[in-house]
Chains A and B, each alone.
Chain A
Amino acid sequence: MSRLLAGWGRTAPTAARVVPLGDDAGAALAHPGPRGTLARGLGRSYGDAAQNAGGTVLDATAHDELIDIDPEAGTVRVDAGVSLDRLLRRLVPLGFFVPVTPGTRFVTVGGAVAADVHGKNHHHDGSLANHVREMTLATPTGTVTVGPARDPDLFWATAGGMGLTGVLLDATLALPRIESSLLRVDTDRATDLDAVMALMDEGDHRYHYSVAWIDCLARGRHLGRSVLTRGDFAAASGLPAKHRDHPLAYDAAVRIEAPPVFPSGLVNVWTMRVFNEAVYRTAPVRRRDELQPIARFFHPLDFVGGWNRLYGRRGFLQWQCVLPFGAEDTLRSSIEGLSGAGVGSVLAVLKRFGPGNPAPLSFPAAGWTLALDMPVVPALGPLLDGLDEAVVGAGGRVYLAKDSRVSRRLIPVMYPRLPEWRTVRDRVDPEGVLVSDLDRRLDLSGRWA
């Protein structure tokens, strides 16, 4: 049946025939219809990455049976439609964590691989594909098993390949061991951008997890004021009495649901200013060793189900860039541009990335990454176009899983290894069966010129 599908930002919905992904993905790929096929997970990419207008969309969440944990090896083999939420419920009580988690646990393993997601530990552990041992991929030319040492070209083209190299069926992930489900968190409030960057430069390496919330509406001497939270999983020994008996207890509930319909415009520059002021003022100037559960530290937004609806019918955009070290001036001028235009964000995040991995379309690269959620206002278009140009000029790029509006002209500059990726893609999908709206818009595949 044809259904309207949108990304998390709810900006450009299109209709597709939605079919559950079953065991026979090969058949779906063999008879794709004139507008092709694409797998979709939980729809948490912000733009149009998991849409295929007029074509077929395979609902991967229907393919979620297998969770095979090998405690000796510290690995799990998991169906691509399993969410990190479900995976964590199984792993944490056994003393394992996922190697990488984005800011929400409501993503599928397949979607996470397709976007090669990163988390607060990127400076230590890299992105998700660095921890994938092996995966099974249904391609239009056959189902194959790939890994870093087994058809590495296809493996790395699939990591960050936005679902355009095949339909992921399962993946085997290496898991970090944890002694407790709590993190020891240090919080620092930084009065401006220089201060927070200096703190991160100087101390990030001492923490496994690190991220800064940044107030992109603050101007002048407050530009870039931030709240930096960093932490590590707590050891079982030394926990306070109430946690000692069940150090691996895991609670991750969705506390409230956002209303189904919410007016556009309530998240605006004035309400954002009030919110940002409150976040900044209520954060401690300096706090050490606070114990926080996993859900609060990693997935604070997941406490509100469907929070994207709070932006109303118009939806919202996410813009995330990475800038290499040395391009701090561009980072500063980007934040100045945003705060000056009053196009602020309540959910702006700054993080220091470690080095990238061999995947040609993987987003992370050594440097600073800035991510912003913004309500859709018409002035946003020209403003973000300007920021894109500045990012490209400084040797940076934007994140495809978040994009919904970048100019396609900039993609080969942002992702200079695109030709290499296309070669691998053309090998497994010579007829162009795998299609997404993102690909139609940005021409990653090189078939829409």
Chain B
Amino acid sequence: MNDALGLPQSVLVLGGGSEIARAIVRALLARRPATVILAGRPGSPAVDQAAAEARQLGAPAVTVLGFDATDPPSVRGAVDEAFAGSGDIDLVVVAFGLLGDQEAAEKDPLAAVDVAAVNYTGAVVAGLAVAAHLREQGHGTLVALSTVAGERVRRANFVYGSSKAGMDGFYQGLGDALAETGARVVIVRPGFVRTRMTAGMKPAPLATDADGVAAAVVTGLAKGSSVIWVPAALRWVFVGFRHLPRALWRRIPG
């Protein structure tokens, strides 16, 4: 069960190799032991590392599942397999995502397919599959890792941004659909996060790191937030950004 401060006793991560998800698991285990299920790309070394890390931090049980985020039946299968295990799952983190290559996609439309499939289609299938199990349990928290890039899509990365915009909107609606079921959805919207995925990119202002996102998530779970901006100031920055004239917004650099 999640306790009064939102701390879970069991966690499922979809995208178990994600650096942000790993940081979230570390932050949760620092507070309370929890069983951990990590679902990721089969054979991914990052997932194995995450599993070893969770064991080391005192998780009483760690399970690894394989799935392919571009393949919807595989996404659903991983979720069902995780929930078929011995106990309830208190917290699910949907952490898989693909940044993709904007330039390549603008040259070859098919290069955009995986980004759209993973970030939107995969996330939709995962969300719906998890929601069905949480309804049955009568409780549980679904944390969806979105991004500010979906809040207003930019010229510089509109393939990624639009896929995340769709994903973000989907989880908002899912959260409303789950009201009164005991399950809840928490959307996390970090700004620029220094991770492997963004390595080599110039950090944007108000950049954070994976541990910063994790700390904000733990705080947000305690407060019962439904949207967590990281850092919190970005919420107000984007109130302004949403109203910038298009001609100006277009020139915001990559």
Which A residues are within 8 Å of any B CB, using their own CB?
2-4, 9, 11-16, 35, 47-48, 52-55, 313-315, 317, 376-378, 380-382, 385, 404-405, 407-409, 437, 440-441, 448
Contact = CB atoms under 8 A, between A and B. Distances in A.
B139 A441 contact: no
Contact of B180 (A4, A405, A407, A437): A4
Given A12-B1, A54-B139, A441-B3, 12 more contacts: A4-B181, A11-B5, A12-B139, A14-B1, A15-B180, A16-B138, A376-B224, A381-B5, A381-B222, A404-B3, A405-B4, A448-B87
A377 B222 CA distance: 7
Contacts of A376: 4-5, 222-224
Contacts of A2: 138, 181
Contact of A437 (B31, B139, B223): B139
B157 interface: no
8 contacts: A2-B138, A11-B5, A12-B2, A12-B139, A16-B138, A54-B139, A378-B222, A381-B7
Contacts of A408: 9
B31 A317 contact: no
A391 B219 CA distance: 25
Contacts of B180: 3-4, 15
Residues of A contacting B: mostly: loop
A15 B181 contact: yes
A409 B2 CA distance: 15
Interface residues of B, number: 24
Contacts of A382: 31
B19 interface: no
From B2, B3, B32, B33, name the one whose CB has the most chain A CB atoms within 10 angstroms: B3
A55 B4 contact: no
A405 B31 CA distance: 11
B137 interface: yes
From A13, A52, A53, A440, name the one whose CB has the most chain B CB atoms within 10 angstroms: A53
B181 A53 contact: no
B218 interface: yes
Nearest to A317: B4
A376 to B, nearest CB: 7
A47 B4 CA distance: 7
A364 B234 CA distance: 49
A372 to B, nearest CB: 14
